[in-house]
Amino acid sequence: MHVTSKDFDEKARAAIADDQLQMGLFVFGKIFPLMRDAKAAELPEFEGLRDSARDIKTNVLENLGTYLDAFEARAEEAGGRIHWARTAEEANSIVERLCEEVGAKDIIKSKSMVTEELELNDHLIDKGYSVVETDLGEYIIQLRNEKPFHIVGPALHLNAGQVSDTFYEAHKKHGRTEKVEDKVKLVEEARIVLRERFKNADVGITGANFLVAETGQIVLVTNEGNADLTATLPKRHIVVTGIEKIVPTLDDLSVFLRILARSATGQDTSNYVSLYSGPRRARDADGPEQFDIVLVDNGRTDMLGTPVEEMLRCIRCGACLNSCPVFSTVGGQTYGSVYSGPMGAVWTPALASVSSAAKLPNASSFCGKCEEVCPVRIPLPSMMRHWREKEFEAHLTPSGQRWGLGMWAWLGKHPSLYRAATNLAGIGLRLISKGRSGKRLATWLPFIGQGWTQSRDLAVPQEPTFLSQYKEGRRR
């Protein structure tokens, strides 16, 4: 997985200065959380469903091998073929071989985060295949040569004008010479161009939202219907999915289906929920002649038994991104990883490395909102803290920060010096503070405090301090 998170600070500054992006982020950061909260409130058992979902996934992770074996057996009984991939390279080679087997030239894809993680498109295009994303958002960012902005809405950052410019340039070769600006017409144009790709495709590649061990089925949850065309029209359907997507039974699946769309987009359910097992049978009207499932590890089993194991419960709903104050200020492409926001701050160091993604676990205010909304109750802040500790142990944190933290720890072990230092700091802050609307604020700090006051004011501690009140025995 190619990660450019080292540039997080520069990209964040650019994102904050981008007025158009800020306007889009403001609307998105407000509307999605409100829709999620409203849908959750309509369902009295929502909190109970979250507990059940957490428990089901915990059981799955404790018995992952057993459920994967059961899934493999059922999927093969239905005529599918299972392929195991330990690494991204193995997964990409397997898909390439499967495409070769059918003499494929044209490949269509439906949105899949794991294929983004594997950089499968680049691999196949390098080998000479034509690969087209068919989810509208993914299609747009593919034309723009960008990475997904958001795990659910990959092109959420773009407005109609930008999409219009992109289509105008890209669709000339398809005979579309008129510039279209109306949103409905833009969708129509994408549909017309993509229809030809659907008709000509030799292979369709999808991900899977869930794998059902009991039945060997893969489950696709979408809003556009493109995944179903991708799965059924070409002669070969290849499913590429992470091994953690397994659920034991159809009953368990129903729990996840009730929380996924509500958490992701504030819908009761998504427009399409499809379960696939095996290739077309004699009585079927349509469907692929071959059905292959590539089960990808790529670092997932290394997470088992570690402090970040619970991240494997993630169902990629994006609720943590939508409610994160950092994500909704800087946007997804700032993170330099296909997985962004709070979930990306845990996934990326786990799958890439702490050194390549050290900035991400620090891109958090630790407000805890991500954990509050996560439908499978993943303790995201604790896991970000884990990566911060690893970063500190590996001496990846800046020397000023290490020095400051060491000093703070030393002071913490010497209470009288700690009190003296905090009293002095309080006096200093009060001296340089100004009254604004009745509030005392420090607007300029020297040394490492500069970083804080360059972009915001610091509230000055009020008097008397808690410790002095405690000493005097005044309890409120």
Nearest CA-CA partner of 334 in 87, 13, 2: 13
Shortest reach from residue 320's CB to ligand SF4, in Å: 3
Shortest reach from residue 254's CB to ligand SF4, in Å: 17
- Which CB, 204 or 341, lies closer to ligand SF4? 341
**What's the CA gap between 288 and 304, in Å, rounded?**
35
- Which CB, 171 or 386, lies closer to ligand SF4? 386
Q: DSSP string spanning 424-448?
A: HHHHHHHHH-EEETTEEEE----GG
Binding flag, residue 374, ligand SF4 (CB under 6 A): yes
Binding flag, residue 317, ligand SF4 (CB under 6 A): yes
**Contact pick of 153, 248, 278, 318 for ligand SF4 (by CB under 6 A):** 318
- Cβ atoms of 457 and 441 within 8 Å: the answer is yes
Q: Please report, in angstroms and rounded to a whole number, the separation of the first and last CA atoms in the chain.
A: 54
Binding flag, residue 375, ligand SF4 (CB under 6 A): yes
Binding flag, residue 299, ligand SF4 (CB under 6 A): no
Shortest reach from residue 361's CB to ligand SF4, in Å: 14
- Which CB, 98 or 373, lies closer to ligand SF4? 373
The single-letter DSSP state of residue 461 is: P
Applying the rule CB under 6 A, the residues between 213 and 252 that interact with ligand SF4 are none
Binding flag, residue 257, ligand SF4 (CB under 6 A): no
Binding flag, residue 75, ligand SF4 (CB under 6 A): no
Shortest reach from residue 384's CB to ligand SF4, in Å: 11
Number of residues that bind ligand SF4 (CB under 6 A): 13
Shortest reach from residue 469's CB to ligand SF4, in Å: 40
Cis amide leading into 464 (omega within 30) = yes
Quick one: tokens of 159? 């407005």
The single-letter DSSP state of residue 7 is: G
Binding flag, residue 319, ligand SF4 (CB under 6 A): yes
**What's the CA gap between 205 and 203, in Å, rounded?**
7
Sign of the torsion angle spanned by Cα atoms 2, 318, 8, 362: negative
Beta-ladder partners of 109: 133, 205
Q: Which stretch binds ligand SF4 (CB under 6 A): 37-45, 153-161, 179-187, 375-383?
A: 375-383
Q: Which stretch binds ligand SF4 (CB under 6 A): 86-94, 97-105, 109-117, 374-382?
A: 374-382
- Residue environment code for 343-352, b if the CB has 16+ CB neighbours within 10 A, otherwise e: bbbbbbbbbb
- Cβ atoms of 419 and 467 within 8 Å: the answer is yes
Binding flag, residue 154, ligand SF4 (CB under 6 A): no
Quick one: tokens of 434? 């100004």
Q: Which H or E run contains 418?
A: helix 415-432
- Which CB, 60 or 186, lies closer to ligand SF4? 60
- Cβ atoms of 99 and 107 within 8 Å: the answer is yes
**What's the CA gap between 46 and 260, in Å, rounded?**
11
**Contact pick of 40, 213, 243, 343 for ligand SF4 (by CB under 6 A):** 343
**What's the CA gap between 128 and 230, in Å, rounded?**
20
Shortest reach from residue 312's CB to ligand SF4, in Å: 10
**Contact pick of 158, 376, 429, 460 for ligand SF4 (by CB under 6 A):** 376
Q: Which stretch binds ligand SF4 (CB under 6 A): 56-64, 234-242, 354-362, 371-379?
A: 371-379
**Contact pick of 109, 258, 300, 316 for ligand SF4 (by CB under 6 A):** 316
Sign of the torsion angle spanned by Cα atoms 315, 316, 319, 324: positive
**Contact pick of 3, 315, 354, 429 for ligand SF4 (by CB under 6 A):** 315
- Cβ atoms of 433 and 449 within 8 Å: the answer is no
Binding flag, residue 320, ligand SF4 (CB under 6 A): yes
- Which CB, 310 or 391, lies closer to ligand SF4? 310
Q: Write out the residues near ligand SF4 by the rule CB under 6 A.
A: 314-320, 343, 373-376, 378
